[in-house]
A = this chain, B = another copy of it.
Amino acid sequence: MMTILLIEDNDIIRENTAEILELAGYTVHTAENGKIGVERALTDKPDLVICDIMMPVLDGYGVLHIFNKNPQLTGVPFIFLSAKIERTDFRKGMDLGADDYLTKPFDESELLSAIEGRINRFQNVRPQPEPSAVWPSPEYDRSGGPATARWLEQFMNDARQVGNLQSLSTERKAHFVRKKQYIYSEGDEPTRLYFLKSGTVKTLRSNAGGKEFVTGLYNPGDFFGYLALLDNSDHTDSAVTLDDVELIYIPKVDFQQLLLADPAVSAQFIKLLAGRVGEREEQLLGMAYNSLRRRVADTLLRLHGQQPEGIIQLSRDDLAAMIGIATESLIRTLSEFKQDRLIEMSASGSIQVMQPEKLLRSNW
């Protein structure tokens, strides 16, 4: 339901008015002066504001001034309430940007119709519906999480059906690469996009000291190596196979053609990348202020959701490089988790998260 913020210093009028509004079915928040009103507006985000003009601490004009300046508040319909019926007072209020002006005393119907009038007006003025024709919120569901690009597979099927990019066809030869092989290295010029048919691939960056940070982990059905292609720069990371894999190569030109041919694709890529930026910034935040234990837990949970069957099969070194910690520290933390029955480890070293809820919630 609509939330209305009522700012009025007179206790009787305020309570009376609030009661009327509540009877009419609105959720009402009240404030007894302008300052409190603004504070409440910022926290409650009302759908409409009714504000008296003459008030102590901060008057109605001041409140509206602040509303106009604060981007979070500007869009909210604003109705002045005043005992003054003089034309100049009215004009001052309107010129400041009020949307209606009610004079006291008013009766119920005046109040309610004024509110309805403004709500209707603003709904007309501010079209709610997503411009879906413009912004494809597509059937390409981003189910694989922002890190993966499974929707591209779907897209490629479509592209194939249209038949204008034959080189994308699945008849393409699969390339077999054995484990622990570099697919491309930092500094290489990108020549193609990779589609992972089977196996696992990690992408990593390394620093001057030879330490590695794993930036991505790819499973069958994922594409990788697109960052440098999109950025039109050299690879800034390396891709390494974790086990024996089957790859399909999509030549750079084909990919770029694809990208330009259909606006929906570029829109999808924009979405994908924006999501990835957000994810990385989140990680950065965690890296800065979360304890090692917390970061291990977060990474395990992320993998738990991504990995098939929820079983994490990854060497301790790689896992540590994903989290950005020393391998020993990871192992110690895993042991602790195991003791707490939060995870289980098999003889082969694979990890299974047993109590994701508890792992998520426990705060150190």
> A residues touching B (Cβ–Cβ < 8 Å)?
42, 68-72, 74-75, 85, 87, 91, 94-97, 99-101, 103, 110, 113-114, 116-117, 120-122, 124-127, 129, 131-132, 134-135, 137, 146, 175-178, 181-185, 188, 191-192, 194, 205-209, 211, 213, 215, 227, 230-233, 236-237, 247, 249, 253, 256-257, 259-260, 263, 266-267, 269-271, 273-278, 280-290, 324-325, 363
A289: which of B132, B185, B207, B280 is its contact (CB, 8 Å)?
A: B207
A72-B183, A232-B137 known; A277-B227 Cβ under 8 A:
yes
A127 to B277, CA, bound (A): 28
A208 to B176, CA, bound (A): 45
Q: Are A227 and B278 in contact (CB under 8 A)?
A: yes
Closest Cβ of chain B to A205, distance in Å, is 5
Q: Are B289 and A287 in contact (CB under 8 A)?
A: no
B residues within 8 A CB of A183? 71-72
A69-B175, A75-B124, A135-B256 known, 10 other contacts, Cβ within 8 Å: A72-B184, A75-B125, A97-B120, A99-B121, A125-B126, A227-B274, A263-B266, A277-B277, A280-B280, A280-B281
B residues within 8 A CB of A271? 230-232
Residue from A137, A205, A208 whose CB has the most chain B CB atoms within 10 Å: A205
Smallest CB gap from A188: residue in B: B72
Q: Are B122 and A94 in contact (CB under 8 A)?
A: no
Closest Cβ of chain B to A191, distance in Å, is 7
Closest Cβ of chain B to A88, distance in Å, is 9
A275 to B209, CA, bound (A): 24
Q: Are A230 and B270 in contact (CB under 8 A)?
A: yes
9 A-B pairs with the lowest CB-CB distances in the bound complex, closest first: A288-B324, A273-B273, A280-B280, A231-B274, A230-B274, A74-B124, A266-B266, A95-B117, A213-B285
Q: Are A71 and B103 in contact (CB under 8 A)?
A: no
26 residue pairs bridging A and B, Cβ less than 8 Å apart: A69-B178, A70-B182, A71-B183, A71-B184, A71-B192, A71-B247, A72-B182, A91-B114, A94-B101, A94-B114, A95-B114, A125-B126, A134-B253, A135-B232, A205-B281, A207-B289, A211-B288, A213-B284, A215-B281, A230-B274, A236-B278, A266-B267, A266-B270, A276-B277, A277-B277, A288-B324
B residues within 8 A CB of A100? 94
A192 to B126, CA, bound (A): 12
B residues within 8 A CB of A75? 124-125, 191
